[in-house]
């Protein structure tokens, strides 16, 4: 009788243990699958301007569905470059200037591949400086933001609103108004993603890291 009871207990124990082990293995495998995210592209296929001896260099990027085009003209003159950003719609072919800026040649403005928001209302530019990268958000209509600014500087806003983290990259749009901002914690190696909500100009910390 005791032997039978022992056998039942043993089989039951083996069954429970196996179930727990398999559950843990499957969970571990799934979490590994989800946490192993892609790296940023080393070379993004942003159309690069062809250097010409005279005249401006032009970089363009169409919106994802192709109805609008963002154009960045770069006119280099000795140590400075004049950048002119404009957006146009293929339906009316009208070009609206969004921004004009003169930068020293050590600072480079460029159009990221994912520049257009999903509803084509916003665009963002990358500004590479010797010390850090900045990201500027514009309204593609050419309208200014409620504070009369032509653009929002994500780096400036982030350092004011979210202490303890530094921006590593702004990769693209998670939706019509949410830009994905990848950051690193100061003092340790934690990597944290935020959504930058353009209308409210607020940062929302995410549990998933969008590598």
Partner 1 sequence: MKKKSIHKKKRTAFHAKKSHDTFHLTIFRYAIAFAIAFILSVAVYPLLPKQTSLCANSISCKEPPKFEMETNARGIFNNKPVPVPNIKLSRNENVNPVLGAKTSVGVKHIYVNLATQTLTAYEGDILFMETPISSGLWGKTPKGDFTIWTKFRSTRMTGGSGADYYDLPNVPYVMFFSNEEVPGSAGFSLHGTYWHNNFGHAMSHGCVNMKTTDVGKLYEWADGPVDAAKGTPITIFGDQPSL
Binding site residues, partner 1, CB under 8 A: 6, 10, 13-15, 17-18, 21-22, 25-26, 29-30, 33-42, 44-45, 62, 64-66, 113-114, 116-119, 171-176, 180, 191, 208-211
Indicate the residue among 82 and 177 with the shorter CB distance to partner 1: 177
To partner 1, the closest distance from the beta carbon of 40 in angstroms equals 6
Residues facing residue 126 across a β-bridge: 110, 135
Indicate the residue among 69 and 201 with the shorter CB distance to partner 1: 69
Burial 96-125 (b: 16+ CB within 10 A, else e): eebbebebeeebebbbbebbbbbebebbbb
To partner 1, the closest distance from the beta carbon of 208 in angstroms equals 7
To partner 1, the closest distance from the beta carbon of 30 in angstroms equals 6
Phi, psi of 159 (to 5 degrees): -65, -25
The token pair that represents 79 in the structure block: 């140590």
To partner 1, the closest distance from the beta carbon of 115 in angstroms equals 8
To partner 1, the closest distance from the beta carbon of 142 in angstroms equals 20
Indicate the residue among 34 and 93 with the shorter CB distance to partner 1: 34
Nearest to 111 by CA among 124, 96, 130: 124
DSSP 8-state code for residue 116 = B
Indicate the residue among 13 and 149 with the shorter CB distance to partner 1: 13
Q: Tell me how far CA of residue 191 lies from CA of 53, 74, 135, 194, 210, in angstroms.
A: 43, 34, 19, 10, 9
Indicate the residue among 127 and 169 with the shorter CB distance to partner 1: 169
């Amino acid at each position: 009788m005791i032997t039978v009871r022992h056998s039942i207990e043993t089989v039951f124990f083996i069954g429970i243990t196996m179930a727990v082990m398999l559950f843990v293995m499957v969970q571990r495998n799934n979490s590994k699958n989800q946490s192993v995210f892609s790296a940023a592209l080393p070379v993004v296929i942003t159309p690069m301007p062809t250097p010409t001896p005279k005249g401006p260099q032009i970089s363009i990027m169409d919106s994802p569905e192709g109805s609008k085009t963002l154009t960045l003209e770069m006119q280099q003159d000795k140590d400075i470059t004049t950048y002119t950003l404009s957006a146009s719609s293929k339906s009316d072919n009208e070009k609206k200037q969004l921004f004009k800026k003169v930068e020293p040649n050590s600072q480079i403005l460029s159009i990221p591949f994912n520049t257009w928001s999903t509803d084509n209302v916003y665009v963002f530019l990358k500004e590479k400086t010797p010390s850090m990268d900045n990201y500027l958000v514009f309204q593609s209509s050419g309208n200014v933001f409620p504070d009369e600014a032509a653009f929002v500087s994500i780096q400036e806003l982030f350092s004011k609103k979210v202490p303890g983290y530094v921006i590593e990259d702004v990769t693209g749009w998670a939706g019509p108004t949410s830009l994905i901002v990848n950051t690193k914690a100061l003092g340790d190696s934690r990597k944290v993603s935020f959504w930058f909500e353009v209308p409210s100009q607020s940062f929302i910390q995410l549990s998933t890291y969008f590598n």
